[in-house]
Chain A
Amino acid sequence: MEKNQFKAWLYLLPALIFLGVFMVYPLIDVFIYSFEEGYNFTSQTYFGTGTYNYSYILHDPYFLQAVKNTLILVLITVPVSTLLSLLISVALSSVKALRGFFQTVYFLPYVTNTLAVGMVFMILFKKTPYTDGLINLILGFFGQSPIDFIDGPYWAKMLVLCVYTVWVVMPFKILVLTSALASVKEEYYSAARVDGTPRLRIFTKITLPMISPMIFYLVITGFIGAFKAYSDAVAIFGTDLNAAEMNTIVGYIYDMLYGDSGGYPSYASAAAIVLFVIVLTITVINLLIRKKHVFNG
C-alpha cells in the first residue's frame, strides 16, 4: 500500500511541479506584487506596502480608456454574437443538405491565427492613398462617403474591432449551440407537431428552454472572453494600442509589464486583479441568475 502511495505521487509529480511553479505560486505572488509600492524591476526593491498601485491605475487615463473600450466591446459583441449564433444554429439544424459543409466552414475561424487573419480585416477596412478599401467601396453604393476605419474616428475603429471579435468568437458558439439543439429529444417536437403548435411557439416553448443552460454557458464564457480581449485589437491596430485609443484591460496589463511603456509589474498586477475581480463578479452574478431562471432538464 505504501509503495502504491509513493507511485501515485510519482506519477503526479511533474504536473504538480509545473502547476505549482507556473500557476499556484504566481497566483499568490500577483497579489503581493499589487500591494508593493514603488517596486523596482532591476533592483527588486520596493518602498512599502499599500494600495497606491490601485489608486495609480484607477487615475491613469490609459487604464480608464482601456476599461471603457473593453466594456463597449463586451456590451456589443456578447449579445450580437450570441443572438447571431443562435439564429445560425437554428437555421443550420432545420436543414439537411449541405449541413456538414456549412458546419465545417463556420468553424474555420477557430483554427486560424488571430494575428494573421486580423490583418486581412485591417486591409478590407483600411483607407489608403491608393484605395478606399473594399468596405468603403461597398458603403459607397449606399451613398456613404469613405471613412478611415483604422486610423480615423473612435467609433469607426471600435466598429472594426467589434466586427472582427464577433467573427472570431462565432465558431465556438455555433458549435456549442448546434450540439445543444441536436440533443433536444425528437419526441418533444413530434408531440408538439401533433398538437399543431406553430413553429415560433415550438421554438419559444420547447427549444429555447431546453437549450437555455447552454445559452447561459455561452453568455458567461462570452463575457469572460470579451473582457480578456487583446490580440484581436493588436491584429488590427498594431502593438501601440494606447496611441490608437483602442487598448483593452489585458493590453494595459501587458503594456505595463513590457515594451516601451513597461517595467511596472506592480501596476500590471493591480490591473490584473481588477480584471480578475470583474470576471469573478460576472461569473457569480450569472450563476445566481442561472439558478433562478434556467430550466435544468
Chain B
Amino acid sequence: MYKNTSIFENIRKGIIYLFLGIWALAVLFPFYWMLLTSFKSYSAYNSEYIPKLFTASPTFENYISAFTSVPLADYFLNTLIFTVLTTAIMLAVIIPAAYAFSRLEFRGKNLVFTLFLALMMIPNELVVITNFVTVTELGLRNTFTGLVLPSVSSVFYIYLLKETFEQIPDELYYAAKVDGTSDFKYLRRVMLPICRPTVITVTVLKVIECWNSYVWPRLITDNEAYFLVSNGIQEIRENGFGRENIPAMMAAVVVISVPLILLFLIFRKKIMQGVARGGLKG
C-alpha cells in the first residue's frame, strides 16, 4: 500500500515538472531563437527551408552590420540619455514629495494625498493627447526635454516611497531635531540610507519602464536622431536592412534586450518584490 502511494506520488511529481518544464521552454525558446538567428549568416538563414535548431558556423557579421548599416548605436545612446535623465529627475521630484507626505505636517495633507491616489486610476491614453499638443506647441518635439518631462512624476512611486518612509520610527526624527538637524539633512543623511532598498527598487523599475517606452517617444520624435531603441527597432524593421535580412534584425533585437536582462539578473529579487507590491506595466 505504502509503495503504491509513493509510485503514484512520483508520477504526480513527474507530471508537474513536465508541465513546468514546458512553460519554461515556451518562455525561453523565443530568446534562444533570437540568439541563434543572430549568429546565422544571411545566406545560411535563407537557404534553410527547414530552420535548423543550431548553427555549425556562427558568425558575428550581423552584429557588425547592426552597428554599421543602421544607427543602432545612436538609438542606444539616446535611450541611455533618456533613461538616466528621466530616472534622475523623477527621483528628485518624488523623494521630497514622499517625504512631505510621510514626515511633514501641513493643512490639507489628507485631501492632497487622496487626490494623488485618485490620479493613479487615470489611464495614460487619456492624457497623452493633450500632452502631445502641449509639447508640440512648446516646440519641444524632437528634443530630450519633450521626451523626458511628461514621465518624471509618478504617483505610484510617491506612494511606495511614502509607505517606506513611514516605517522609520519617529524617535529618530525627534532626536535629529533636538540636535538641530534640518529636514533636508535628515532626509539625506538618515531616511534615504535606511530606505535604500526601496529607492533602488523604484529606480530599477523606472529604468525598465524607460528602456521599454514606445508610445510617447514615437509620438514626439520623427527625427531619427532622437529615436529610442523601441522606435529604432521598428524603423529598422520597416526601412533598415531590407525586410528579408532577418539575422541582422535579430542581432539588433539581442543588443536591445541584453541590458535589461542583465539588469534583471542583478536585481532579480528587488524587481520581483517591487512588481508584486503594486505591479504595473505601461
- A contacts, CB < 8 Å to B: 4-5, 7-9, 11-12, 14-16, 18-19, 21-27, 29-30, 33, 41, 87-88, 91-92, 94-95, 98, 102-117, 119-121, 123-124, 128, 130-134, 137, 167, 170, 172, 175-176, 179, 221, 224-225, 228, 230-231, 234, 238-239, 250, 253-254, 257-258, 265, 268-269, 272-273, 275-276, 279, 283
Please name 13 pairs of A and B residues whose Cβ atoms are closer than 8 Å in the assembled complex, sorted by A.
A4-B104, A15-B94, A15-B96, A18-B152, A23-B119, A95-B17, A110-B275, A114-B214, A115-B214, A115-B230, A239-B238, A254-B218, A258-B132
Say yes or no: A30 contacts B249, CB within 8 Å.
no
Q: Beyond A131-B49, A176-B276: 19 further Cβ-contacts under 8 Å?
A: A8-B104, A15-B153, A19-B116, A106-B23, A108-B27, A110-B275, A111-B264, A112-B257, A116-B230, A117-B253, A119-B250, A120-B31, A120-B34, A120-B250, A130-B45, A130-B48, A170-B27, A172-B279, A234-B214
Point out the residues of chain A lying under 8 angstroms from B7, CB to CB: none
Complex CA–CA separation, A284 to B252 (angstroms): 43
When C-beta atoms are compared, the residue in chain B nearest to A25 turns out to be B130
Point out the residues of chain A lying under 8 angstroms from B282, CB to CB: 225, 228, 231
User: With A33-B130, A279-B123 as given contacts, are A117 and B257 in contact (CB-CB < 8 Å)?
Assistant: yes
Point out the residues of chain B lying under 8 angstroms from A137, CB to CB: 50-51
Complex CA–CA separation, A4 to B61 (angstroms): 63
Interface size range on B against A:
35 or more
B71 close to chain A: CB less than 8 A: no
Point out the residues of chain B lying under 8 angstroms from A110, CB to CB: 275, 281
Complex CA–CA separation, A231 to B124 (angstroms): 14
With beta carbons under 8 angstroms apart, the residue of B16, B28, B100, B253 that contacts A119 is: B253
Point out the residues of chain A lying under 8 angstroms from B96, CB to CB: 11-12, 14-15
User: With A11-B104, A119-B253 as given contacts, are A134 and B51 in contact (CB-CB < 8 Å)?
Assistant: yes
Complex CA–CA separation, A49 to B99 (angstroms): 44
Say yes or no: A30 contacts B129, CB within 8 Å.
yes
Quote the shortest CB–CB distance from B14 to chain A (angstroms): 11
Complex CA–CA separation, A62 to B88 (angstroms): 40
Say yes or no: A29 contacts B238, CB within 8 Å.
no
Complex CA–CA separation, A228 to B268 (angstroms): 27
Residues of B223-276 at the interface with A, using a CB-CB cut-off of 8 Å, are 229-230, 233-234, 237-238, 244, 246, 249-250, 252-253, 256-257, 260-261, 263-264, 268, 271-272, 275-276
- B contacts, CB < 8 Å to A: 13, 16-17, 19-20, 23-24, 26-28, 30-31, 33-34, 37, 45-51, 92-94, 96-97, 99-101, 104-107, 109, 112, 116, 119, 121-123, 125-134, 149-150, 152-153, 155, 158, 183, 208, 211-212, 214-215, 218-219, 229-230, 233-234, 237-238, 244, 246, 249-250, 252-253, 256-257, 260-261, 263-264, 268, 271-272, 275-276, 279, 281-282
Quote the shortest CB–CB distance from A190 to chain B (angstroms): 18
Majority SS of interface residues in chain A?
A: helix
